[in-house]
Chains A and B, each alone.
Chain A
Amino acid sequence: MRAISRSTLPSAAVAAMLLGGTVAVRGQAPPRNPVSEGTRNGQWPSYTGDVRGSRYSPLDQIDARNFNDLEIAWRFKTDSLGTRPEYKLEGTPLMVNGVLYATAGTRRAVVALDPATGELLWVHGEHEGARAANAPRQLSGRGLAYWTDGTEERILYVTPGYRLIALDAKNGVPIPTFGQNGAVDLKREIDQDIDLVNGEIGVQSAPVVAKDVVLVGAAFREGFTPKTHKNNKGYVRGFDVRTGKRLWIFHTIPTPGEFGHDTWLNGSAEENGNTGVWTQITVDEDLGLVYLPVESPTNDFYGGHRPGNNLFGETLVCVDLRTGQRKWHFQLVHHPLWDHDISSAPILADITVDGRPIKAVAQPSKQGFVYVFDRVTGKPVWPIEERPVEKGDVPGEWYSPTQPIPTKPPAYNRNGVLPEYLIDFTPALRAEALELTRKFKFGPIYTPPVASKVDGPIATLTLATASGGTNWPGASYDPETHIVYASACDACLTRLGLVPPPSKDISDMNYVHGFAGQPFRISRGPGENAGADAAPPPAERPGGGGGSAFVFNVQGLPLIRPPYGTISAISLDKGTIVWQVAHGETPDVVRNHPLLKDLKIPRTGQADSVGTLVTRTLVIAGDSQFTTTVDRPRGAMLRAYDKTNGKEVGAVYLPAPQSGSPMTYLLNGKQYIVVAVSGGPYSGEYLAFSLPAESARPGGAAAESR
């Protein structure tokens, strides 16, 4: 039997298909509030497992002894959920009350699957036309949210065109009493005028639902070369989960009279935008507090149009769940110039420091610092010192004389670039790297960007900025041991050079990202409408293709020495790094390079931030890149580490790299791990692993409360 329904939304056609009749579900009886109970009962009801940013499950059926026995239980290919296959599947599914829910495909469809078999139960897609085609953040997104009042169950997600959709979890049909026929237009009631079709705003993260409030942030195009500093503003809102009514809005750029407005000098709060919350929001349901990780203001690397500290740019803000009123805030970077968006979910951690229990919030970062605060008061658990930083000389720029540096825990990845970070496999390679970087500026964290000059400095070399450290996949937190497990890119190099845009039509900013002597280009996010602001013909083409001025690697090898990527275990009780391992197989080009064939190079890890999952005994994460080894065909590995010491205790083959963060659940006594894989020529697929009957220890499935 097949049911198809269509809504009468003015700007969108909605189709929901119910496959195979009623979805009578299976497994456990519905707990009172699965979202509040988090993963305790073997479910995974929120994007990060709970709404506290943990990515933790107490399940222990899969452990060090049997991880290598894992087999693929089912696979779900996402190709047909859109007009073309997707190669960047980033979602993490939910599993509640015996149904698995996920976003998938180029349409960002929602699917409900049987978590035992992967069978499709229903699918829902929104056809938004030009509105979606113009959206700054397209593709399948990171996930969705679940809500129940004990009888009704809903699934909520945000479309590429920035509409909040509420579906009946039983059949995927939009809830007619939510918003307008199941949808809230997020471009409305946002305290600024945004064109419904062409206006630049969207979000790819999963909404969060806590205590009947839906929390939604905002994202924009890449902030390297924006067309205008008067970009839209990324306010955060809370909505009533029953009706879709807006409950509150938090102005991440304060309006006149609001706290922090005076941190934008010369009236610049009105003249600048971005400053959204594009990553996951975290909630303490008991305290009724929400933790907002705010990104950079316009633009990422030049702030001459926004003198001042620019609250709440790159600030962790705590607001009231019911009202959105600010309780406290801490700005991680004053007057942001390095694209240090707070990029992942804040983590709620009940820790014990020097015998004193603290309700803490811990924020992993691109910088490689974990910033730890008392989450009630906002006071740092360990001192965060304002230290002097270098003042730059980019014309028109405003510089903060100091930046906050945590005294504990130590940074878990390199931030800043020093000559000793360059490749050092052989003296010749190192010499080549030094020559290649001769005209670049080195320095520690918060070394400012430069106005690019052909004779140097061309740019400031940075690690741990745009794509370094811990990015959107975030970290995991173990509530048993009070340890954060954070993956980090330790070799993601970004060159911070600034050039004036070629014309005011390209950008009205004085400076945007670019390099002197190289053709200017506009940086775009996925899916930006090329017709709207197509790049001009290049004015000059020095060097041409293959010119040495462009190539920024050494004999095809990374410029930065290993490790390229790591996982670190960081104790929040002690403020120390407990262990750190290189994560990911050594890339083929390093393993097979003729110049390195006589060297024994320890595993380098891979230059990416990947999502981790922590269980009762293991930390689990997949490789982020393809490799081919003598033992196995081209592919990647899903790895398990002993969470006490970082020792790799198992690894199973993936046909493509992990591209979304793994999750786990228990169903009918069996533990499953689901992970999104995609990349290269391999289109998006959710893979579910479980143990063969002979490997699963009887009674070993340890959901705590029964």
Chain B
Amino acid sequence: MNVRAAGLAILGVAAIGGIGSAVRAQEPTRSVWDGVYTEAQAKRGEAVYRQSCASCHGVALEGIETAGPLTGARFTSNWNGVTVGDLLERVRVSMPHDRPGTLSRQQTADVLAYVFSFNRFPAGKVELARQTELLKLIKFEATKPARN
């Protein structure tokens, strides 16, 4: 299955439904525990991460003095409760530190998929979108919500 196409298809449907205003009014409906990226996307993201992020954040995502960790309690607690859209925006605006803005939105979304994979949030069947508005519908939660 072409997961990228599936992602676009969903986007297309949303667009037809008048996504602009509807999305802004919506609260997050899913969380990072709901399989919001694919394994293939995480693999692509890993390559980008190694190239553009690992020199500061480390191959084990543990961070060093001046670059925060992207794994473990420090990371998951600190981002708990924001949306993945917020996370993407932060990366897009300020990273990589020495060349902000040089990664495409797709690359940035792929890197997030890799970070989610590393932190053992489950993979799913549809890729993480690259549009901030869509990612604002996905909540970052440090611990798995107790539902059902």
Contacts and interface: CB of A to CB of B under 8 A. Distances in A.
Does B bind A?
yes
Interface of A: 84-87, 133, 222, 224, 466-467, 518-519, 521-530, 534-535, 537-538, 544-546, 550-553, 556-558, 587-590, 592-594, 607, 625-628, 634, 679-681
A466 B72 CA distance: 18
Contacts of A527: 97-98
B117 A546 contact: yes
Nearest to A471: B65
Interface stretch (B2-10, B14-22, B23-31, B86-94): B86-94
Contacts of A522: 55
Which residue of A556, A593, A625 has the most chain B CB atoms within 10 A of its CB atom?
Answer: A556
A545 B117 contact: yes
28 contacts: A222-B66, A467-B65, A523-B58, A524-B55, A525-B56, A526-B66, A526-B67, A529-B98, A537-B50, A544-B46, A545-B43, A545-B118, A546-B118, A550-B60, A550-B118, A558-B74, A588-B76, A589-B73, A589-B142, A607-B74, A626-B77, A626-B79, A626-B80, A627-B80, A628-B80, A628-B81, A680-B79, A681-B86
Interface string B99-118: 11100000000000010011
Contacts of A607: 74
A341 B35 CA distance: 44
Given A527-B98, A545-B43, A589-B76, 8 more contacts: A522-B55, A524-B98, A550-B61, A553-B73, A588-B80, A594-B143, A626-B78, A634-B80
A20 to B, nearest CB: 30
Contacts of B120: 546, 551, 556
B61 A593 contact: no
Which residue of B43, B59, B65, B146 has the most chain A CB atoms within 10 A of its CB atom?
Answer: B65
Nearest to B146: A594
Given A222-B66, A593-B143, A626-B79, A521 B54 contact: yes
A551 B71 contact: yes
A588 B77 contact: yes
Contacts of A528: 55, 98
Contacts of A589: 73, 76-77, 80, 142-143
Contact of A552 (B67, B72, B79): B72
B55 A535 contact: yes
B62 interface: yes
Which residue of A545, A553, A607 has the most chain B CB atoms within 10 A of its CB atom?
Answer: A545
A422 to B, nearest CB: 14
Q: Can you list the 7 inter-chain pairs with the closest CB atoms, starting with the nearest?
A: A587-B77, A588-B80, A681-B86, A553-B72, A550-B60, A589-B142, A588-B77
B73 A558 contact: yes
Nearest to B99: A530
A526 B76 contact: no
B129 interface: no
Nearest to A544: B46
Given A467-B65, A521-B55, A588 B142 contact: yes
Interface of B: 42-43, 46, 50-52, 54-56, 58-62, 64-67, 71-74, 76-82, 86-87, 89-90, 93-94, 96-101, 114, 117-120, 142-144, 146
Given A224-B64, A589-B73, A84 B55 contact: no
Which residue of B81, B98, B120 has the most chain A CB atoms within 10 A of its CB atom?
Answer: B98
B76 A556 contact: yes
Contacts of B146: 594
A538 B50 contact: yes
A553 B100 CA distance: 30
A178 B45 CA distance: 50
A537 B94 CA distance: 24
B114 A523 contact: no
A680 to B, nearest CB: 6
B102 to A, nearest CB: 9
B118 to A, nearest CB: 5
Contacts of B80: 588-589, 592, 626-628, 634
A546 B122 CA distance: 11
A105 to B, nearest CB: 12
Given A527-B97, A530-B98, A589-B143, A679 B54 contact: no
A222 B65 contact: yes
B90 A558 contact: no
Contact of B59 (A537, A546, A550, A558): A550
A224 B90 CA distance: 26
A162 B98 CA distance: 17
B7 to A, nearest CB: 20
Contacts of A590: 73, 77
A681 B90 contact: yes
Contact of A588 (B51, B81, B86, B118): B81
A680 B81 CA distance: 11
Which residue of A528, A546, A628 has the most chain B CB atoms within 10 A of its CB atom?
Answer: A546
Contacts of A551: 60, 71, 118, 120
A537 B117 CA distance: 21
Given A530-B55, A545-B117, A556 B142 contact: yes
Contacts of A84: 93-94, 100-101
B119 to A, nearest CB: 8
B35 to A, nearest CB: 15
A674 B16 CA distance: 48
Nearest to B102: A530
Contacts of A529: 98
B64 A680 contact: no
A658 to B, nearest CB: 13
Nearest to B76: A589
